[in-house]
A and B are shown apart, each in its own frame.
Chain A
Amino acid sequence: MGSTIFRLDFTRGTVEEIDEAIPPRGAASDPSARTPPEALPKRAGYVLAALGTPPQRADED
């Protein structure tokens, strides 16, 4: 069993499969299996954050 990541590039209109699987290190409940914080990617020139969302638009159901 595996899971998959695809890169969807809307600038270039391309879809590419990415192979980044983390090797198994233990059961799902094993804390050692967690990805360390330093594995978070460093983004160039921008910050992804949770700052809030706009009110729902009229076309949304």
Chain B
Amino acid sequence: MRIAWAIPCVRVRTRADGLLDLLGSQIDSVVLPSLPTEIEFDVAIRLTGPEQDFAQEHLVQVVLSDPQLEAIGTLDLPVYPRAALATHIPGYEINANLGARIAFEPYDEGGYDLSFALDGEAQHRHKTTLSAILREP
């Protein structure tokens, strides 16, 4: 299993058919009049891999770092087991779509990094930065 993509956006909505709606994609900045201010944004994440990889639960570790590259925290995003659909083509990979609503309080201007690991293995390709910019929105 691997992370195929992780896209920061204003809002992710899940759909009953398993798809995601991405609204306001792709963001890279937040403009605020003062700090600290609690903010929220969403990240749409797609995981893909062979069917057997989805037989058990996995964990995506989400690490948030401040502009000085110091880790603010690490939180675990569970990936629940799932089976392939009846329409699954044998040999094809299957996938899971997740939304992560990120809430935190930037306390300084600069880039806040989100990085990801899957079951403890870093997924370097998907690091993303949200820049906090102090200005009247």
Contact = CB atoms under 8 A, between A and B. Distances in A.
Contacts, number: 147
Nearest to A35: B21
A27 B129 CA distance: 34
Nearest to B20: A3
B6 interface: no
Of listed B64, B69, B99, B110, residue having the most chain A CB within 10 A:
B99
B72 to A, nearest CB: 6
Contact of B98 (A5, A51, A59): A5
Given A5-B100, A8-B62, A8-B101, A41 B28 contact: no
A6 B98 contact: yes
Mostly, the B contact residues are strand
B105 A11 contact: yes
B137 A46 contact: yes
Given A11-B38, A45-B37, A61-B124, A5 B99 contact: yes
A54 to B, nearest CB: 5
Given A5-B99, A51-B29, A53-B129, 4 more contacts: A3-B14, A4-B14, A5-B100, A7-B103
Interface of A: 1-11, 13-15, 18, 20-24, 28, 33-35, 39-41, 43, 45-54, 57, 59-61
User: Which 10 residue pairs across A and B have the least CB separation, nearest first?
Assistant: A5-B99, A1-B18, A10-B104, A47-B137, A51-B29, A7-B101, A3-B97, A3-B14, A46-B32, A9-B103
